[in-house]
Amino acid sequence: MESMNEILPLREQAAIRDRWLKTRLDTVVPELLERENIDMWIVICREYNEDPVLMSLLPATSMSARRRTILVFARTETEVERLTLSRYGYEGFYDGAWNPDEEDQFECLARIVRERDPERIGINTSRDFAFGDGISHTELQLVREALGESCAARMVSAEKLCVGWLERRSAEEIIAYPRLVEIGRQIIARAFSTAVIHPSLTTTDDVVWWMRETMQEAGLSAWFQPTIDIQAPGQTYKDTENPRTTIMPGDLLHCDMGFHYLGLATDQQQHAYVLRPGESDAPSGLRAALADANRAQDIHLEEMQVGRSGNDVLRAALERAKAEGIRSQIYSHPLGLHGHAAGPLVGLWDRQDGVPGVGDYPLYDDTVYAIELNITRSIPEWDGQDARIMLEEDAVLTGGALRWLDGRQESFHLIG
């Protein structure tokens, strides 16, 4: 796997991530503060109880909040001040604004707020988005007490600011992202081959742990445990109690895997078919099912338009698929600094009527998504038994259009 050998040493990864962070701090934060009409943004948390936004705002070598970390972003007429009220500084990213030998940390925060006199102070509280709800109960109380009744009355939810910051990808990140997805595709291709799978001997868990070890050895960090599952005549996608786990000829295999690299996440699902003796391809019924899934992807991509909500996209895509006779479910999600990342949900597998709140958030340009869906189709070669094709491929919404980051699966991996 050639691309696996191109994974950078940690020092080089950190340098790249810090360069990306500086660009985003210089460009994305000012834009979002203006878009959301927030004059000051306060991000505050304690060590090991980090706000999910905080780590995305710190340089790559930062491992935690370090005691209590307070970051302040303050709009002026000409710029956005970036301040840190923390015992340990972040030179080159934030200006130190607190001397712990002279002033209490919260007294310093109150002074900075009074001096700048912001009208709207963004605090990370949110009913709908975990990513915008990172301030703890105690920290919120302490901020209110420090600011006093007059200034505390100016606090507003920074929910959309948090989501906007996390979901927006820089031009450099968008250029780099296809390589990450390519690495994932190569891991899947290797896993779904006779180099890893020996029918009648290899189990699904064997493949799962091969994926985990492969990612670990390469320096990639899996953000969830991969899965491998089997469909075959007599074993459907609904058979979740004591399913057969030894891989055999005639099986339809499905995988789900994702990892972090350079601070960005991937998420991919593909299928393989284990050839029976004398076969050179999967049965035509399975190939037709994969074609249905590809068509559902086409429809989904066409409906992913800037300004539409996740729920609007879900409704329109499902209606079009149904009109074409495709039995489909859609449950796509944003991808970026997290696997299930900040931004609009386009359905959940158990919420095909829409997701209130998170699904009402609109799509913005320069964002990345895991396009995740399934279709179900009757397979003649399986005596009419249903098979479910579950695909997940990563795509970027930029320039007003959604495109695959590194293609998609249009034919089965063949084993044997």
Q: Please answer whether residues 105 and 84 qualify as being in contact, where contact means their C-beta atoms are separated by less than 8 angstroms.
A: no
Token pair recorded at residue 378: 């009757």
pLDDT at 3: 52
d(CA 416, CA 232): 16
pLDDT of res. 2: 54
For the whole model, what pTM was predicted? 0.95
Helices (H), 66-136: 105-116
As averages over each run of 10 residues, the pLDDT of the chain (416 residues) reads 74 97 97 98 96 96 92 95 91 93 95 96 97 96 95 96 98 97 98 98 98 97 98 92 94 98 98 97 98 98 98 98 98 98 97 96 98 98 98 97 97 97
List all residues 6 or more positions away from 189 whose beta carbon is below 8 Å from its beta carbon.
413
From the list 369, 370, 366, 364, the residue with the least C-alpha distance to 306 is: 364
Please enumerate in sequence order all residues whose Cβ is within 8 A of that of 74, keeping only pairs 6 or more positions apart, or say none.
39, 40, 80, 81, 83, 112, 116, 118
Q: State how far the Cα of 415 lies from the Cα of 196, in Å rounded to an integer.
A: 10
How many Cα atoms are found within 13 Å in the side-chain-facing hemisphere of 234? 6
> How confident is the model at residue 5, as a pLDDT?
63
pLDDT at 87: 84
Residue 148: strand, helix, or coil: helix
- Give ∠ CA 409-412-416 in degrees, rounded to 5: 145
Q: What is the pLDDT of residue 359?
A: 97
Could you tell me if 33 and 73 are in contact, meaning their C-beta atoms sit under 8 angstroms apart? yes
The pLDDT tens digits of the residues spanning 310-352 come to 999 999 999 999 999 999 999 999 999 999 999 999 999 999 9
Give the pLDDT confidence of 288-312 residue by residue, as tens digits: 999 999 999 999 999 999 999 999 9
Please report the pLDDT score of residue 108 as a whole number: 97
CB under 8 Å to 39, separation ≥6 — which residues? Answer: 33, 74, 75, 116, 118, 119, 120, 121
Number of C-beta neighbours around residue 100 at 10 A: 12
- Quick one: pLDDT at residue 398? 97
SS3 annotation, 26-75:
HHHHHHHHHHCCCCEEEEEEECCECCCCHHHHCCCCCCCCCCEEEEEEEE
Going by C-alpha positions, the residue among 197, 190, 299, 292 that lies closest to residue 248 is: 197
